[in-house]
Amino acid sequence: GENVEQHPSTLSVQEGDSAVIKCTYSDSASNYFPWYKQELGKRPQLIIDIRSNVGEKKDQRIAVTLNKTAKHFSLHITETQPEDSAVYFCAASTGSGGYQKVTFGTGTKLQVIP
Amino acid sequence: GAVVSQHPSWVICKSGTSVKIECRSLDFQATTMFWYRQFPKQSLMLMATSNEGSKATYEQGVEKDKFLINHASLTLSTLTVTSAHPEDSSFYICSAMTGTGGSYEQYFGPGTRLTVT
């Protein structure tokens, strides 16, 4: 089955700096890669996603890159703010339509220091 | 749009009793719903995939007779924890998938915190 590894497990950055979280996956059939932000005690919220036919996607301060050959994808947050502090999960999804299977990474706790 | 609700948000039950958790997609139809379990400071572990009108597909190591899943309609899936034990205490989160063809997204419910005493 799919195995998703995520690094680092914790990350502290100064406000205004950039943060990068990296994930690797094992199943070459994975075709959808979402990133979720989870604040303490709350549900995961989709913040950005990328599909296998795209190499990079950007949404304001957040960007995601995908290297299918190397089977890794990364989340980049620029100009970090204290409200960016949360746990971030990457995920890799295989299948289509009603036969999706999503595997999550182990999470990265991001702390943005004011 | 794409709102998923979950009920109850928290529940405390005695060991040996059963607890039912509901997951509803409020403004869209979800042919597929997922049930996850999350331990403190850990990732989401997929328990089962629920497709409307068919039996759920359980992940390896998840007891299907203990965690009963029913996906009765395109907007409702339920998870029943039978004969609950303290080790079943956890945060249970459902999600629902929406989209067509190759474009789909997954939205999460707010979670249910189960405590078994």
B77: confidence class by pLDDT, cuts 50, 70, 90: very high
Tell me the average pLDDT of chain A.
Answer: 91
pLDDT tens, residue by residue, A20-53: 999 999 999 898 899 999 888 788 888 999 988 8
Query: Rg of the Cα trace of chain A?
Result: 14
Average pLDDT over residues B27-54: 86
Longest dimension (CA), chain A: 43
Residue A86 has what pLDDT? 95
Euclidean distance between CA atoms A40 and A17, whole angstroms: 23
Cβ(B112)–Cβ(A42) under 8 Å? no
Residue A42 has what pLDDT? 81
Across the interface, whether the CB atoms of A44 and B32 are under 8 A apart is answered no
Residue A100 has what pLDDT? 66
Find, among A79, A78, A81, A73, the residue nearest to A49 by Cα. A73
Helix residue spans in chain A (DSSP H): none
B39: confidence class by pLDDT, cuts 50, 70, 90: confident
**Separation in Å, CA A12 to CA A41, A114, B96:** 20, 11, 32
Indicate if the pLDDT at residue B12 is higher than 90.
yes
- Say whether residue B33 is in contact with chain A using an 8 A CB cutoff: no
B 48-67 → A contacts, CB under 8 A: 49, 51
Residue A58 has what pLDDT? 96
Residue B42 has what pLDDT? 82
Average pLDDT over residues B2-28: 94
- In sign, the C-alpha dihedral spanning B109, A30, B54, B99 is positive
Euclidean distance between CA atoms B23 and B9, whole angstroms: 11
- Say whether residue B109 is in contact with chain A using an 8 A CB cutoff: yes
Across the interface, whether the CB atoms of B31 and A97 are under 8 A apart is answered yes
B100: confidence class by pLDDT, cuts 50, 70, 90: low
